């Protein structure tokens, strides 16, 4: 099995990268193949908002590295989305990546309720993990990270399996947080066991995300 991590920090050695590396280290110890995609290493042009991909499933923007990242998404069995916190929110690179995942979305109107539904062109349901790091903010800052992360996972046909939100890294880096490092390493192992077990999605957990972030009315 393959786990693909998409990291929106500009550093390969900072707190966000360290957190992801520890998680994937645990996953590899449990037998998974892993790959990290540091988004700043790729050319990602901003989404134009043209919505042409709603009909075609293909982005009209050409000449950047998004097709490589889309192929990584298609070939993975689980996803890790990771972002530090800039000005109390997700990074610009994370937002660009999420926006450019829009070609995966499948939108239709429910004939019975007349509400818009947002599914995915990805056919297989996959687990997703969110890792978010903050320097000086507390836990409250991570609500927006989780919301955007959930929207992206939904479009990739991925369910929110677990999140690791790590505040106050300005005073103590992730590498020195022994309890956090242990949880991340164990989390990577747990994800592999979860996938091997075939137990699948916790529908109550996904439903809680849906009720919090996605249950909007469209006419």
Long-range CB contacts (within 8 A, 24+) of 193-197: 193/30, 194/127, 194/161, 195/1, 195/77, 195/78, 195/127, 196/1
Phi, psi of 76 (to 5 degrees): -90, 155
Q: Look at residue 154 in the predicted model and tell me its pLDDT.
A: 92
Q: Look at residue 115 in the predicted model and tell me its pLDDT.
A: 74
Q: Look at residue 216 in the predicted model and tell me its pLDDT.
A: 52
Domains for the chain: give ranges and CATH numbers: 2-214 (3.40.50.360)
CA distance 166 to 206: 22
Q: Look at residue 218 in the predicted model and tell me its pLDDT.
A: 42
CA distance 9 to 29: 24
Among 17, 31, 10, which residue's Cα sits nearest to residue 184? 17
pTM for the model = 0.93
Give pLDDT tens digits along the chain (219 positions).
999 999 999 999 999 999 999 999 999 999 999 999 999 999 999 999 999 998 899 999 999 999 999 999 999 999 999 999 999 999 999 999 999 999 999 987 777 777 777 789 998 999 999 999 999 999 999 999 999 999 999 999 999 999 999 999 999 999 999 999 999 999 999 999 999 999 999 999 999 998 888 765 443
| DSSP code string of the chain | -EEEEEE--S-SSSHHHHHHHHHHHHHHHTT-EEEEEEGGGS--PPP----THHHHSS-S--SSSHHHHHHHHHH-SEEEEEE--BTTB--HHHHHHHHHTGGGEEEEE-TTT--EEEEES--S-EEEEEEEE-SS--GGGHHHHHHHHHHHHHHTTEEEEEEEEE--TTTS-GGG-HHHHHHHHHHHHHHHHHHHHT----HHHHHHHIIIII-----
């Amino acid at each position: 099995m393959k786990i693909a991590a998409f990291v929106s920090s500009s550093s390969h050695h900072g707190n966000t990268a360290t957190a992801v590396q520890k998680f994937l280290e645990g996953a590899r110890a449990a037998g998974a193949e892993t790959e990290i995609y540091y988004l700043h290493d790729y050319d990602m042009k901003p989404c134009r908002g043209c919505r042409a991909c709603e009909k075609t499933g293909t982005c009209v923007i050409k000449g950047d590295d998004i097709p490589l990242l889309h192929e990584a998404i298609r070939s993975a069995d689980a996803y890790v989305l990771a972002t530090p916190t800039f000005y109390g929110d997700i990074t610009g690179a994370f937002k660009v990546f999420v926006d450019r995942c829009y070609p995966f979305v499948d939108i239709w109107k429910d004939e019975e309720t007349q509400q818009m539904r947002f599914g995915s062109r990805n056919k297989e349901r996959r687990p997703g993990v969110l890792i978010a790091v903050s320097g000086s903010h507390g836990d409250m800052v991570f609500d927006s990270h989780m919301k955007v992360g959930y929207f992206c996972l939904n479009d990739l046909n991925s369910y929110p399996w677990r999140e690791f939100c790590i505040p106050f890294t300005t005073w103590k880096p992730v590498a020195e947080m022994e309890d956090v490092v242990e949880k991340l390493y164990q989390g990577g192992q747990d994800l592999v066991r979860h996938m091997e077990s075939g137990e699948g999605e916790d529908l109550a957990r996904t439903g809680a995300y849906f009720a919090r972030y996605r249950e909007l009315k469209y006419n």
